[in-house]
């Protein structure tokens, strides 16, 4: 893969002979993003690619995300700590090295078993996170 600069913050990529459309530079400084507490104990920084929504969370032990569902597939990758993730009535512990994948439309909830950090990715994008 190659990156070709065509001016400030623009790029074109060539992957296996395919040219992708030019667009914004494909790097995001997470630390420059505003922190939002969407739910008590869940402090997140959000950004979107063309097709996915990314949430980088710091969470506090005992905080939770109520049961809900949405049309996007969602992946919980825990960086530090532990989350109890319940998907369609089945609970398991997500921790570093154990990823939870929530199918589109599945009811799910989350409880923080410790303080920690996680990255949550939705496909396709979640418009309410813009």
Query: Which domain range does residue 20 map to?
Result: 1-27
Whether residues 12 and 49 share a domain: the answer is no
Res 37 pLDDT > 70: yes
Distance of CA 7 to the CA centre of its chain: 29
Whether residues 51 and 112 share a domain: the answer is yes
Whether residues 3 and 66 share a domain: the answer is no
CATH code, domain carrying 120:
2.60.120.10
Q: What's the pLDDT score for residue 23?
A: 59
Whether residues 41 and 98 share a domain: the answer is yes
Whether residues 20 and 43 share a domain: the answer is no
Question: 59 in the Ramachandran plot: left (φ > 0), alpha (ψ -120 to 50) or beta?
Answer: beta
Q: What's the pLDDT score for residue 18?
A: 57
Whether residues 60 and 90 share a domain: the answer is yes
Q: Is the pTM of this model over 0.85?
A: no
Give the model confidence (pLDDT) of 61-99 as tens digits: 999 999 999 999 999 999 999 999 999 999 999 999 999
Where does the pLDDT of residue 9 fall: very low under 50, low under 70, confident under 90, or very high at 90 and above?
very low
**Higher pLDDT, residue 58 or 11:** 58
Domain count, the chain: 2
Peptide bond preceding 124 in cis form (omega within 30 of 0): yes
């Amino acid at each position: 893969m190659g990156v070709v600069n065509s001016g400030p913050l623009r790029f074109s990529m060539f992957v296996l002979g395919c040219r992708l459309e030019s667009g914004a530079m494909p790097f995001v400084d997470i630390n420059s993003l505003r922190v939002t507490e969407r739910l008590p104990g869940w402090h997140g920084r959000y950004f979107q690619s063309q097709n996915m929504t990314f949430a980088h969370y710091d969470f506090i032990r005992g905080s939770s995300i109520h049961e809900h569902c949405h049309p996007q597939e969602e992946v919980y990758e825990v960086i530090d700590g532990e989350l109890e993730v319940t998907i369609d009535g089945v609970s398991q512990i997500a921790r570093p090295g154990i990823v939870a994948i929530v199918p589109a439309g599945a009811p799910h909830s989350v409880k923080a078993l410790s303080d920690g950090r996680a990255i949550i990715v939705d496909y396709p994008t979640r418009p309410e996170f813009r």
